[in-house]
Amino acid sequence: MRLPILLGLGLLACGDSNTPPPGMLDGAPDARDVDGDGLCNETEDLRMTRIDVVDTDGDGWSDLWEILVATDPLDVTRPDRAFVATLRENSGGDLVVPIEIEVSAAGEDYSGAFEAEAVQDPLGQNAASYFLDAVATFAAPNDNVAFVDAEGESFRAVVGRTLLGFELRFDFAGERAPCARAYPFRYTVKRSDGIIVASRRLMLVVLPEGGVLGTTPWCVPTSCR
């Protein structure tokens, strides 16, 4: 088949002075994790996620991981599935992610670059841990490009309205785990004068062999956050 989280405490006053504010237990921050999703009850109260459900919005992503990769654990439409790519820990399995960018050019060169975003992964990995390489694949119309440098991820002397194609290749080469995890990354295309013409943010989801997004449990840290 081809994010530490610093949260302000912002405590709310309660009508009953004997009742601890949300996120507090006997006057101290509530460091329990009732639902076992890796978020402390205090954090869940502050983020308005449920302390008794791993996935508040029911989109298949745990609340912890939605926060780690900077999406919204209260919005079922995020992350956008169109920007999620799944890699499984199958032996010899790999993943190809196509990227297409349309430009209007006047003889400039265009080149792409992969960048893994930092994420507080319990396994200490990020998207670069699985990234093999990226290549320039096609231009349409082809006659609008003088030369396609596949390995250099670039197109030379592009003219007119042109669709530029790239492929990002990933392979499982990390630590196996019985749980799901996600790694955000960007692919940015620049013009030869340094102007960024496009920057796509995507999510690489890594699942154990036979795993299914929404069914396979998500990885959790040794202590809640």
What is the average per-residue pLDDT within 51-63? 96
Shared-domain flag, residues 27 and 111 = no
pLDDT value of residue 187: 99
Shared-domain flag, residues 198 and 93 = yes
Shared-domain flag, residues 31 and 117 = no
Answer yes or no: are the C-beta atoms of 182 and 61 closer than 8 Å: yes
Shared-domain flag, residues 145 and 105 = yes
Number of structural domains found in the chain: 2
> What's the token pair of residue 16?
């009953």
For 60-114, write each residue's pLDDT tens digit: 999 999 999 999 999 999 999 999 999 998 866 789 999 999 999 999 999 999 9
Structural domain of 164: 82-207
Average pLDDT of the chain? 88
Distance CA 173, CA 168 (A): 16
Task: Flag whether 12 is in a domain.
Answer: no
Task: Flag whether 34 is in a domain.
Answer: yes
Q: Does 34 have pLDDT greater than 60? A: yes
